[in-house]
Structure 1
Amino acid sequence: MKATRVYLLLHVLLSAGVLVHSFEPVTTTLFGFGLAAVGRAIYNYLHESCGPKWIHFNATGLQADLEAKLFGQHIASRIILKSVTGFMGNDNPKKPLVLSLHGWTGTGKNFVSQMIADNIYKEGMKSSFVHMFTAELHFPHLSQIETYKAQLQQWIKGNVTNCAQSMFVFDEMDNMHPGLIDSIKPYLEYYESLDGVSYRKAIFIFLSNAGGESITQTALDFWKAGRDREELELRDLETAISLTVFNNKNSGLWHTSLIDKNLVDFFVPFLPLEYRHVAQCAMAEMKAKNLLADPAVADQVASEINYFPKTERIFSVKGCKTIASKLDYFYT
């Protein structure tokens, strides 16, 4: 496949006169420059590079993904779309985009990170410019925290030096050792550059279950008051989330200067999912698997999920996290 693509590229270059010019008997220097240019063109055609061919924001695509694939998250959808679109449309941002996503498991935090990557990078989450860190895998031992801090700083500096439009995702922030994330504070500031490197075009996303209890309690209070969950606004939740994670020793953002210095642009709440949202997840998963989207099967899958509180059974315990495996069971 690659050989065919190289042949086609060479054909295009010949048609454009690039290779012909390279072989004109002017000087060997021109000959060398011509070959070097062709080599770079071929390499950039076949390999991901930090340029518009591989990095290009698709605002329409992000909006379509959020509307078609993310359910029950009207607040998160609105914030993500507006913040990412505004940031990517700014040729000279004053600081990196920093988003902190909070909510119970299965509500869509990782899914949204993937959507953002898919609509910025041609290779999506597989892009060499998208970097995922997890607490248990990359930073497991408290005794090594000083080493982790130095490594994390070097990883971020090296990758942003390689590509200014890099994206960093920190999963399991609630399991992150307190103080570790403060080591990257300088890169999230308003500095034009640090040691010759600008971090202003990078994106940092933190994913955490911390704050999930306060989000769920607010959603439950709305339900008990007979109010529609779509009436919930960011102002009803953001302050409570930031205070919760700042004062929670298990949040990874405990007493962090990132919050003190207002470096997190948005604390994004992900609401607990109701029965109808789980059924929607099942329908979407069937379509993704090229299966017949059967509402009866979606209802059956949703009915087998555990819900809480025990008496009212309003919210899914695991969100939509086990939907894919349950559908595999139904279709095998």
Structure 2
Amino acid sequence: MHSNRIRTLYFNFLYIFIILCYTDCANGIEPFTATLAVGMGAAGYGFFKDQTYCRFYECCDERSIPGLTRSLEYNLQQHVYGQHLVNRHIVQAMSAHFNNLGKSRKPLVISFHGQPGTGKNFVAEHIAKALYTRGSESKFVHKFLGRADFPEAKLVDTYKRQINDVVRTSLSNCPRSLFIFDEVDKMPSGIFETLASLADYNAFADGTDNTKAIFIFLSNTAGVHISDHLGTLMKGGKLREETRLSDFEPLLQKAAYNIEGGLQKTSLIESHVIDHYMPFLPLEKSHVMKCLEAEFRRWNRLPDKAIMDEIIRTSIIFDPKHGIFSISGCKTLEKKVAMAIN
């Protein structure tokens, strides 16, 4: 403990010395001595920052960005209902990315698709919470909202420059940045044309590292396609839990490319920059009941089956084609439960 304190004081003194004399080195210190002092000062500054500043403030290091994929796996299993594909493949994708940062040659790029209320935002929040100590409040987590941030189609060129500037600056500050684009289906077509090159292999000629970053796109695009395809598979005798990612990815890629929105006809898809297309399956009654139970627990109340049945009966609309999928998922349940118990 005593030696550590002496070491800290030494490096602090050395750092202050370098700061004070650096501008006068050319006049008062010979080149070799100045170079040695600056090098030792830089090392001292790194140690000083790690042992002081980064203990209290967020830094681009493993303390602030621990990448707790085990925690992510547990939280998804406990709190995300009816999404066996998401729970399995999101954890695998995040683990593979974080466990191989030194070998990564491009960012991890994932596109979430599904109807409202199926958990897209919820899962994105859990990803931020697991990977960053401050969760979605981290200064290294950057969120964009389609209707709020990019409302005018005529300004698409301006938006492209804004996204380009934010991504480049953020990656320069911290290569382990997370970028979340929500409401992609509400964004103007063509908005991601600049981003396509920034999220691909060998993106930056200036040495900026993009290989450790993560890009996530959230969209309602293809929600109906997912529902129809799942219904068809289930009517053909396939259990919901037996469906695989390969059952949906080609469908999602095609729909995202052709349906109006931020991904329409984009080179993100043409250049195969997106690594995974993740389907959020429509929720059935049993899944909605689990969401209701979770809301009761959030209010520190025991689940009331009579109230839950009433909410299901009066507030949940099921799709007319298959009759088993909730159109709104778990989207409105928070307020329904709050009103029922107060």
TM-score (norm 1): 0.87
RMSD: 2.7
Answer with 1 or 2: which has the greater Rg.
2
- Please state if 1:29 is matched with 2:39: no
Which residue identity does 1:163 align to in structure 2?
A: C
Partner residue of 2:144 out of 112, 133, 136: 133
Q: TM-score, normalised by structure 2?
A: 0.85
Instruction: State whether residues 72 and 130 of structure 2, in contact with CA within 8 Å, keep that contact through their aligned partners in structure 1.
Output: yes
Query: How far apart are the structure 2 equivalents of 1:329 and 1:285?
Result: 12
Tell me what 2:212 maps to.
201
1:61-112 residue CA offsets vs partner (Å, 9 max, x unmatched): 1111111111001111111011111111102211100000000000011111
Structure 2: which amino acid aligns with 1:51?
D
The 1:314/1:38 distance shift into structure 2, 3 A limit, reads: same
Q: In structure 2, do the counterparts of structure 1 residues 39 and 225 end up closer, same or farther at CA, with 3 Å as the change threshold? A: closer
Residues 125, 14 of structure 1: CA spacing in aligned structure 2 closer, same or farther, 3 A cutoff? farther
Which of 313, 318, 321 aligns to 2:323? It is 313
Kept after mapping to 1: 8 A contact 2:221/2:256: yes
Map residues 67-78 of structure 1 onto 2, 5 A cutoff.
Answer: 67-78=77-88
Tell me the amino acid that sits aligned with residue 287 of structure 1: R
Q: Distance in 1 between matches of 2:108 and 2:139?
A: 19
Q: Unpaired segments of 5 or more residues in structure 2?
A: 21-40
Cα distance in 2 for partners of 1:285, 1:183 equals 41
What amino acid sits opposite 1:109 in the alignment?
Answer: K
Paired amino acid for 2:206: D
Give 1:112's aligned amino acid: V
Partner of 1:6: none
- What is the aligned partner in structure 1 of residue 25 from structure 2? none
Partner of 1:168: 179
Q: Which runs of 5+ in 1 are unaligned?
A: 1-11
SS in structure 2 at match of 1:113 = helix
Contact 1:55 1:121 in 2 (8 A): yes
Q: Please state how far the C-alpha of 1:298 moved relative to its aligned partner.
A: 3.8
- How is 1:286-305 mapped onto 2 (pairs within 5 angstroms)? 286-305=296-315
Residue 137 of structure 1: how far off its partner (Å): 1.3
CA contact (8 A) 2:82 2:283 kept: yes
For the pair 1:49 / 2:37, whether they are aligned, the reply is no
1:273 corresponds to which residue?
283
| Paired AA for residue 16 in structure 1 | R
Aligned-partner residue type, residue 331 of structure 2: K
> Over residues 112-166 of structure 1, what are the superposed CA-to-partner deviations in whole Å (9 max), with x where a residue is unaligned?
1111111100000111100110111111112211111111101000011110000
Is 1:213 matched with 2:202?
Answer: no
2:231 and 2:322 in contact (8 A); partners too: no
Per the TM alignment, residue 311 of structure 1 is displaced from its structure 2 partner at its CA by 7.4
SS state at 2:277 partner: strand
